[in-house]
Structure 1
Amino acid sequence: MTFIDRLPRRGALMLDFIYYPVSGILWVWHTVFGSVLGPDNGITWALSVMFLVFTLRLVLYKPFVSQVRTQLTMKKLQPEIKALQKKYIGDRARQAAEMQKLQKAHGFNPLLGCLPVLVQAPVFIGLLHVLRSFNRTGTGIGQLGMSPEENANTANYFFSATDVQSFLEARLFGAPISAAMNSGAATLEAFAPFGGVPTVIGIAMVAVPLMVLAGIATHFNSRASIARQDDAARANPQTALMNRLALWVFPAGVLLGGPFLPIAVLLYWVSNNLWTYVQQHVVYRRIDSLAAAVSDADDGTTQADATVAAPSKPRPGVKPGGRKRRRR
C-alpha cells in the first residue's frame, strides 16, 4: 500500500494540518513497536501514544529552557519594572514604551513563555480527534454514525483500514484504549467483531488508576512550580488564588473529567505530566548550577579587585609614603 493509499478519501478539513502530523507521528511509533510486540497488542498502542508525547516534548525542550530563563529574567527585572510603573504612573503609553525598551535591553521575549502551551494544546486536540476517528460509529457531536463494518473498512488519516481494525482489536488490560467510561452503547458495539463488546467496569478498571495517577502528577507538578516562587509572589492575592487552583482544583478537574476521556488520552495526560516533572527538576537544577558558578566567579573577581585596590600596610619601622632618598 502506497503513502497516498493511506490517506482518507474525504474533503480537506480546517484542522487537517494538525490531525495529519499527529496521526503521522503516532503511526511511526506504532510501526516501530508493532514490529516487536505485534501491531494488535494493546501495549504497542499505549507505547505509541506515550512516545508521541515524548517526541513532542523533546521538540519543545529548547523552548522550555527559554521559558525558564524568561521567567528568571522577569524575576530579576521586577525592581526596575516597579520603578517604571511608579515613575510613569499617569502615562500608560510612556510606561509601555519604557517597558519594551527594558525588555529589549535584557533580551526578554514574553512570547517564549507561551510557546510550549500554545503548541501542546493543538496536539492534545489533534490526538483526541484522531483517537475518536478510529471509532466513528457514535452519533454524538463530531461522530459520523458509521456502521461497525463501514468504520472498520475506512482509513483514519495516516492509518489504513487494516490499522483501524488493529486498533479496534487491541486491548490494554482488557479495555480498548479508545474507549471512555461514558462511551455509549453504539460506540462499544463497534468492538464486537474485534474481541467482544467491552464493559464499563472493565474500562473503569483501567481508566480510574490512570485518572488518579494523572491527578497526582498534576498536583506535584504544580507544587514543584510553586516552590520556586519567592515570598513576594506568593503573598500576591492573585498568585495565591492561582496557586490554590493549580494545587487542588486542576487535579480534581482531571478526576471529574476523566470518565469522559478515552483511555489513550488519559495515557497522554499521565505521560505528559511525568515528562514535565522530570524535565522541571533537570532543567532547574542545571540552571541553578550555572547561576551558582557565575555567582562564584563574580565573587572571586570582586575579591581579587578588592585585594589589588587595597593599600599595602607599611612594614615595621618604615613610614608610609615610600622609601627615603639617599643623601649624596
Structure 2
Amino acid sequence: MSFITDPLVYYPISGILWFWHKIFAFLGGFLPWVESPDSNGAIWALSVIFLVVTLRILLFWPAAKQIRFSRKMQEMQPRMKELQKRYKNDREKLATETRKLQKSEGFNPVLGCLPMFIQIPVFLGLFHVLRSFNRMGNNFGALGMSAEETRNTGNYVFNADEVQSFLDARLFGAPLSSFISQPIEQFQAFVDPGAALDFERWNIIIVAIPLMIVSAVTTHLNARISLSRQSPEAAANPQAKIMNQLMLWAFPIGILVTGAFWPMAILVYMVTNNLWTLGQQYYLFEKMAKEDDVAALKRREEQKSLAPRVGVKPVNPKRGRGAPTGTAVASQETVAGVTSDDDDDPDAAPAVAPAPSPGAAPRPGQRPQQPGGQRTRPAQKSGGGSGKGKKKKRKR
C-alpha cells in the first residue's frame, strides 16, 4: 500500500510540516533570544501546531458535512422506526420505502460517510510522519534502526540533516520524538553519536503528563458537546448509550493510559486537534442554530400571510359550490356596502337586499329556497261559485 499512501498521504503531510518549519525558522532567525532556529523545540512545536491547523482548515468542509449528516439522521430516525415497524416482515418493501424517504429528504448516506473516510487516512498519516522521525525499536512506524541509522535516514520530504534537527529539538528540556515508556537505549538517537545525554526521563514526564491531561479533558468536552445535540430518541437507543459512555469516559481514559507510548509531537498534535475541534463545534452548532431560527421564522411568516386579516370574514369555498364564480362573494360585498352606507345616514330608507341567485348560499337568518326559484300559490279562478249556480239554474 505504500505506493498509494506515500504520494497521496505521507509526502503531502510531511511537505506541509516542512513548509511551516522553514517559515518559522526563518522568522526565528530575526529574534535574538532564539538559538539555533532550525533545531529549536518551540519552532518545531509551532510547525506541528500549524500543520494540524492547515489540515483542519482543508477538512473543514467535510467536517461540516459530517455534522449535518448526523443531524439529518437524527431527524429521520422517528420516520425510519415507523417504516421498520410497518414493514418488519417485508425486507424488500422496507428497503424500497427507505430509499424513497432518503430521496425525498435529500439524504445520501454514501456522501454523508465520505467526510469521515477522508479524515481517517489524513490523521493516521500525520501520526505516521511524526512517529517516523525516530525509527528505533519495533513498535508502530519503527524499523528497528540503530541510533546512527535513525539520524542519517530521511523522513519523506525531510532529508537526513532535517531529521537530525528534529531529533535535537527540545521542548522544555524533552525531545519532541521521545515518550515516557521509551527504552533508555533509544535515547541515543537524540544526541550526536558518542555524546552524553542532555536530558533524563523525568524531563519527558514533566512535559508529557500535562499534555496528556489536557488532551483527555478536551476529548471529554468534545464528546459532551457533541452528545448534547443528540435527540432524546437517539440517546434512548441501548447501542447509542454504550457508544456515548465510551466517548465520554473510555476514550479520555484511554488517552491517559496510552499516552505514555506516544511521542511528544503526537501529544502536541492531540492537544491542538482537540482545541480546534472545540472551536469548530461551537462555530458550526451556533451557525446551524441560527439557520434553524431563520427557517422557523420563515415558516411563521408564511403561515401568517395565509391567515385571514383581522375583521375580514373568511370565505369557505365549499359553501359556494355550484354557484357561478364570484356570485356569492359579490352578493356579500354588495350587501355589506349598502349596509355601511345606511349606517352613516339615519334618514335613509332601509335597503332591500337583492334576491340571491339560484344555488347561492343563503344569508344568515334567511330561509333557504328550493332549487327552481320561488313557488307561487296557484291562482284561484274568479267566479267559481257563480258558474255552479248557472248550471243549477239550467237544470231547473
TM-score when normalising by structure 2 = 0.73
Give the Cα–Cα distance (whole angstroms) in 2 for the partners of residues 67 and 97 of structure 1.
25
1:237 and 2:227 are equivalent in the alignment: no
Task: Give how far 1:143 is off.
Answer: 3.0
Question: How many residues end up aligned between the 2 structures?
Answer: 312
Paired residues of 2:20 and 2:47 also in contact (CA < 8 A): yes
Paired residues of 2:39 and 2:166 also in contact (CA < 8 A): yes
One-letter code aligned to 1:268 = Y
The answer to which structure, 1 or 2, has the higher relative contact order (CA under 8 A, 6+ apart) is: 1
Give the Cα–Cα distance (whole angstroms) in 2 for the partners of residues 90 and 280 of structure 1.
40
Change (3 A) 1:117 1:136: same
Equivalent residue number for residue 298 of structure 1? 299
1:15 and 2:5 are equivalent in the alignment: yes
Deviates more, 1:149-158 or 1:164-173: 149-158
Change (3 A) 1:276 1:103: same
One-letter code aligned to 2:23 = V
Paired residues of 2:15 and 2:157 also in contact (CA < 8 A): yes
Paired residues of 2:219 and 2:252 also in contact (CA < 8 A): yes
Change (3 A) 1:20 1:294: same
Give the Cα–Cα distance (whole angstroms) in 2 for the partners of residues 63 and 86 of structure 1.
33
Task: Give how far 1:120 is off.
Answer: 2.9
Change (3 A) 1:208 1:115: farther
Give the Cα–Cα distance (whole angstroms) in 1 for the partners of residues 196 and 109 of structure 2.
51
One-letter code aligned to 2:253 = A
Equivalent residue number for residue 124 of structure 2? 125
One-letter code aligned to 1:76 = E
Deviates more, 1:172-181 or 1:123-132: 123-132
Give the Cα–Cα distance (whole angstroms) in 2 for the partners of residues 195 and 173 of structure 1.
18
Give the Cα–Cα distance (whole angstroms) in 2 for the partners of residues 272 and 152 of structure 1.
28
Paired residues of 1:42 and 1:170 also in contact (CA < 8 A): yes
Change (3 A) 1:113 1:176: farther
Equivalent residue number for residue 216 of structure 2? 215
Give the Cα–Cα distance (whole angstroms) in 1 for the partners of residues 225 and 185 of structure 2.
43
Percent same amino acid at aligned positions?
Answer: 45
SS in 1 for 2:171: coil
Task: Give how far 1:288 is off.
Answer: 0.7
Where does 1:1-328 land on structure 2 (aligned, <5 Å)?
A: 15-17=5-7, 18-37=9-28, 38-140=37-139, 142-193=141-192, 196-307=197-308, 311-312=312-313, 321-324=332-335
CA deviation digits over 1:94-139, x for unaligned, max 9? Answer: 2122212221222212234433432332233222322232223335
SS in 2 for 1:198: coil
Change (3 A) 1:127 1:23: same
SS in 1 for 2:26: helix
One-letter code aligned to 2:243 = M
One-letter code aligned to 1:160 = N
One-letter code aligned to 2:145 = M
Equivalent residue number for residue 8 of structure 1? none
More helix by share: 1
Paired residues of 1:49 and 1:264 also in contact (CA < 8 A): yes
Paired residues of 1:152 and 1:164 also in contact (CA < 8 A): yes
Change (3 A) 1:312 1:268: same
Give the Cα–Cα distance (whole angstroms) in 2 for the partners of residues 180 and 44 of structure 1.
19
Paired residues of 1:64 and 1:116 also in contact (CA < 8 A): yes
Deviates more, 1:157-166 or 1:92-101: 92-101
TM-score when normalising by structure 1 = 0.87
Give the Cα–Cα distance (whole angstroms) in 1 for the partners of residues 139 and 64 of structure 2.
41
